Amino acid sequence: MENIPTSETRVRFAPSPTGPLHIGGVRTALYNYLFARHTGGKMILRIEDTDKNRFVPGAEEYITASLEWAGIRFDEGIHAGGPFAPYRQSDRKEIYRHYAEELLARGQAYYAFDAPEELEQKRKEAEQEKRVFTYDASVRVHLKNSLALPEDEVQQLLKSGSPFVIRFKIPENETLVFQDIIRGEISVHTATLDDKVLFKSDGMPTYHLANVVDDHLMEITHVIRGEEWLPSLPLHVLLYSGFGWEMPLFAHLPLILKPEGTGKLSKRDGDRLGFPVFPIEWKDPFTGEISSGYREAGYFSEAMVNMLALLGWNPGTEQEIFSMDELFREFSLERVGKSGSRFDPAKARWFNHHYLVNCPTGELTQRFGKILAEKGIRRNPDYIERVVELVRERSDFVNDFWTQSHFFFETPSAWDLDTVRKKWKEETPGLLRAFRDVILEMGEFRAENIKAEAEAFARQQGAGLGQLMSPLRLCLVGATFGPDLALICEMLGREEVMARIDKALVYIAANTV
RNA sequence: GGCCCGUUCGUCUAGUCAGGUCAGGACGUCAGGUUUUCAUCCUGGUAACAGGGGUUCGAAUCCCCUACGGGCUACCA
């Protein structure tokens, strides 16, 4: 399987099933996907479940469902399969042991028998002296490992089944220089690095070993991941050269920051500020705590993807609305920024508004129909569709439709008395009663007729149109909002309009002094 | 503390690599217009090169320092 020459690009998204994927992770997946499609390469989903202790039931299913919803597709991976299966690291366990031993044989790694408690103790001691304990060249010869211990003792320990880890032996006194597609040249001195554990005492590899081995074996050409991995890039570079492998190209994405204050976006921010940080709703299997998702909040996945694409990347033109296909065409890593982006919920809403306005009416009608059904309201689809047409422009989400249109489906049970104070004159009830009679008498009950009648009536009464329409709106809607009033009348129908005038007049008379 | 990365309107950003338009756009916000209400919509305004040194005829752009912000610093990923 090794060293098959390949010219196509291969990228992977490699989440760890330790909880729900937040939008930063979705963006990383998205950028990988866009890069793969832009370059005509392959997109791979690998699950990095090498930490048994942090495994969270349902997390893997959540991740795949989220990516599915976002429209991110995989050419290879845990579900899609592929020539490099298996794609779940826990199913590749034996592979890592083999490569750890190869490093051991090459003298680039060593066994370490230090108990976790011993190391913890050393860290505490160092802290008290205001130092930081690092397992590095300066101390490794004094610790319990195969570099310091006599050979026979090492063999004895191994034979007796003593727990051990395998650590990477960081070369001394070298300056490492490497390239990042987004950041350019980065240099680090090996003296600042520590001998990271590659292989744990439970028989599993750490992230560092597993990701380098798998990326090599799976012929990954570009590693596109979050900036939090930048500090371990030197180790990974050393690992590739330790194995004598060709390195993939690296691109470290900037982080997504909180909307206000400092620090990276966290789950708490969403709860506190009232916007989702997860693609779909997540229920914590241990605490039962629910975190809201974009999907449930009423976002279109296309809007979320568009918003995420522009959070850190830009096309260099003034275009802001992109379909997935357009993103495939335009995306490039060269146009990803270096600095962290603050997440802006207001702009996220704006994106959704745009997609809402442009969404086919049929789809909106269907979605809104569902919401109505949950409220026990059933109306014929044509009626719902007409309502949708009237409220879509004034909404950001389908979930807003109800607050914008409930009066189309039910008679108000209360009327806004603040508006009464402002718009209600002494003659208003009389005016409304007289207009009620006009309604009763008028011909075809259609918007244009209603409007004409209202105008004629107002003129004849010597009143402004507003003096009639505002109170009438209050009667029908319950407050002062909503679309064209003549249209509302038509949709409600003659009987209902008259009934609402009557009810409103009774209510208002009873509730004002 | 150490190491690494970053810094243009309130926010996302263009412009930086190849120094030379009143630093452009979008979201937000404010004002005006449209209107029977509230929105939408249209028009206009607001607002930024973190600071200091250099280099240069000329610096947001190149170099250095400082400040601030972030990430990492586990037998987590």
For chain A, the domains span 97-181+184-197, 411-513
Work out if A394's Cβ lies within 7 angstroms of strand B: yes
User: Residue A179: what pLDDT?
Assistant: 92
Asked if A30 and A285 touch (Cβ cutoff 8 Å), the reply is no
Under DSSP, the state recorded for A84 is T
Say which nucleotide is closest to residue A464, CA to C1' distance.
B36
Helices (H), A267-312: 267-273, 294-297, 301-310
β-strand A76-77 against A109-112: which pairing, if any?
A: unpaired
| Residues A34 and A309 sit within 8 Å (Cβ to Cβ) | yes
Answer yes or no: is A469 CB < 7 A from strand B. Answer: yes
* CA-wise closest residue to A87 among A23, A42, A39: A42
CATH 3.90.800.10 fits domain A97-181+184-197: yes
Distances (CA, A) of A231 to A132, A186, A190, A247: 17, 10, 12, 17
Residue nearest to nucleotide B6 (CA to C1'): A339
Q: Token pair of A27, please?
A: 């963006």
The nucleotide minimizing the C1' distance to residue A192's CA is B3
- Between the CA of A313 and the C1' of B49, what is the distance in angstroms? 20
What the block records as the tokens of A397 is: 């989400």
Quick one: A389 exposed, middle or buried, by C-beta within 10 A (0-12, 13-18, 19+)? middle
Which residue is closest to B68 in terms of CA–C1' distance? A262
Residue nearest to nucleotide B24 (CA to C1'): A318
Q: Which pLDDT value is given to residue A4?
A: 40
Q: How far is the CA of A334 from the C1' of B67 (A)?
A: 29
Class of residue A370 by CB neighbours under 10 A (exposed 0-12, middle 13-18, buried 19+): exposed
Q: Establish whether the CB of A344 is closer than 7 Å to any nucleic acid atom in strand B.
A: yes
Which nucleotides on strand B sit less than 7 A from a protein beta carbon?
1-8, 10-15, 24-28, 36-41, 69-77
Does A422 participate in catalysis according to the annotation? Answer: no
pLDDT at A258: 83
Q: Is A494 exposed, middle or buried (0-12, 13-18, 19+ CB in 10 A)?
A: middle
In one-letter notation, the amino acid at residue A153 is: E
Separation between the CA of A387 and the C1’ of B20 (whole angstroms): 57
| Residue A44 vs residues A6, A219, A478: alpha-carbon distances, Å | 15, 11, 55
Indicate which residue of A93, A122, A264, A267 is catalytic: A267
Q: How much is the pTM?
A: 0.94
Q: Which residues contact A34 (CB under 8 A, 6 or more apart)?
A: A309, A327, A328, A331
Q: In Å, what is the separation between the CA of A34 and the C1' of B61? A: 30
The answer to whether the C-beta of A465 is closer than 7 A to strand B is yes
Of chain A residues 301-320, which have a beta carbon within 7 Å of strand B? 310-312, 314, 316, 318, 320
Q: Tell me what pLDDT residue A275 has.
A: 85
Which two three-digit tokens encode residue A181?
A: 């597609």
CATH 1.10.10.350 assigned to A411-513: yes
Residues 141-200 in A having a C-beta less than 7 A from any atom of strand B are 163, 165, 183-184, 186-189, 192, 194, 197, 200
Is nucleic acid strand B under 7 Å from A219's C-beta?
Answer: no
- For chain A, 513 residues long, give each residue's pLDDT as a single digit of tens: 333 445 799 999 999 999 999 999 999 999 999 999 999 999 999 999 999 999 999 999 999 999 999 999 999 999 999 999 999 999 999 999 999 999 999 999 999 999 999 999 999 999 888 888 999 999 999 999 999 999 999 999 999 999 999 999 999 989 999 999 999 999 899 999 999 999 999 999 999 999 999 999 999 999 999 999 999 999 999 999 999 999 999 999 999 988 876 778 888 888 788 789 999 999 999 999 999 999 999 999 999 999 999 999 999 999 999 999 999 999 999 999 999 999 899 999 999 999 999 999 999 999 999 999 999 999 999 999 999 999 999 999 999 999 999 999 999 998 998 888 888 888 889 999 999 999 999 989 999 999 999 999 998 988 888 889 999 999 999 999 999 999 999 999 999 999 999 999 999 988 886
Nucleotide nearest to A123 (CA to C1'): B74
- A 110-149, residues with C-beta < 7 Å of strand B: 114-116, 119, 123, 132, 134-135
What are the two backbone dihedrals, phi and then psi, of residue A189, each rounded to the nearest 5 degrees?
-90, 135
Q: What single-letter amino acid sits at A385?
A: E
Enumerate residues 6+ apart whose C-beta is below 8 A from A383. Answer: A408, A491
CA distances A36 to A29, A33, A191, A223, A307, Å, are 11, 5, 36, 11, 19
Q: From residues 56-85 of A, which are strand B contacts by CB within 7 A?
A: none
Residue A10: which of A104, A69, A82 has the closest Cα?
Answer: A82
**A342 sits within 7 Å of strand B by its CB:** yes
Nucleotide in closest CA–C1' contact with A17: B77
